[in-house]
Amino acid sequence: MTKPLVPFSRRALMAGLGGALAMPAIRPAFGQAAPIKVGVLHSLSGTMAISETALRDTVLMMVEWINGRGGLLGRRVEAAVVDPASNWPLFAEKARELLQVAKVDVTFGCWTSVSRKSVLPVFEELNGLLFYPVQYEGEEQSRSIFYTGAAPNQQAIPAVEYLMGKDGGEAKRIALLGTDYVYPRTTNRILRGYLNSKGITDADIMEEYTPFGHSDWQGIVSRVKTFAAQGKKTAIVSTINGDANVPFYRELGNQGIKAEDIPCVAFSVGEEELAGIDARPLVGHLAAWNYFMSVQAPANTEFKNTWQAYIKNPRRVTNDPMEATLVGFKMWAQAVAQANSTAVDAVREAMYGQKVDAPCGYSLEMHRNHHLAKPVMIGEIQADGQFSIVSRTPTTIVAENWSPFIPENANRRRG
């Protein structure tokens, strides 16, 4: 269940769903109609809780927001929250529980690709609808999932392009470090193909994987230093996920790896993960996302203000997957209103072409490949755990969920 509605002292800035997030102070009265149910499928314990708990909180914030605006179709919205506990088979069990027992109308959830792949057949079998808010490896398109995070061409490839360019230090050797599951392995397969196409041979690519929750980084970081000491500018590309990032970044600092010598760009480290780390030794290292908390945009100011009013903890930050959750929720709400129904088939059709003026400062649109067109941003870590944006695309980039650097995709229809 959601938290009780909290009185919101600021005046609502706009009336429509596409407007600001601010909630009116007067709470609406709901009739006797059954509530609309929203499933929340995020790990609240285990190795991924460091990242996923904030996404649970974001969905609950949006449920409170929509109810403060009169609900949907005149009905109250309620959240059903489960904890799959970073246990990938348990995700499928909990997804089935949400769909068959709680009878949710939509679900927001998953972080890792292995959890998403665990639940995908359940959502397809039961004709459920999942909004997945995290960057991933692509190579997938399901009628049951809307992907509001980045595909590789909206994060991984632009990040490596930046590292190889003048502003990124013109890296000639790349160390690919990842957690051992499908997202890092597939993303790095795509990146290897891309790097090869740019003249970087396999001899100049280091690739290593570690289990979830890995804590002993001394040997791997030492090998990276050896790899970098062979006369070519070297950079690290990190697809490390979850709480393993804390000891990894600590070890970078312990071994004196500075951004000007061996820059590290991360795809799964944002403001939330840095909140538990002394960021001072990491200043100048990079992350690639589609949103940073430091974005200067009216929609982001409203997002941050509403988050703080809801969470009531000035230490709690916003980050990219939270923004992707918000965007997905608002698009879903708009689609429900347009379809005048919560029926999955009707909402799915109404989702195509939905637009939201997002906190990233861009208008985002959902395409028929179930992916958003998104901007790409590169941010440098600052001592306070925030990011200074050093590069961003002038427009949004259409997702390539089937990468041209995977040979089997040669005959696939993209876009």
What pLDDT, in 10s, does the model give residues 262-286? 999 999 999 998 987 889 989 999 9
* CA triple 118-187-375, angle to 5 deg: 100
Give the mean model confidence (pLDDT) for residues 318-341: 98
Nearest CA among 135, 71, 127 for reference residue 377: 135
175 and 111 belong to one structural domain: no
In a domain, 56, yes or no: yes
Cα gap 274→326, rounded to integer Å: 21
Examine the domain organization and report whether 141 and 160 are in the same domain: no
Domain of 196: which CATH number?
3.40.50.2300
Could you list the residue range(s) of the whole structural domain that residue 216 is in? 153-294+377-409
Number of structural domains the chain divides into: 2
Ranges 11-25, 82-96, 233-247, 250-264: which has the least confidence: 11-25
228 shares its domain with 286: yes
pLDDT of residue 140: 97
Task: Give pTM, 2 decimals.
Answer: 0.91
Model confidence at 235, pLDDT cuts 50, 70, 90, reads very high
Alpha carbon separation from 88 to 85, 105, 114, 209 (Å, rounded): 8, 23, 6, 18
The torsion angles phi and psi of 77, rounded to 5 degrees, stand at -105, 135
How far is Cα 301 from Cα 114, in angstroms, rounded to an integer? 34
402 and 265 belong to one structural domain: yes
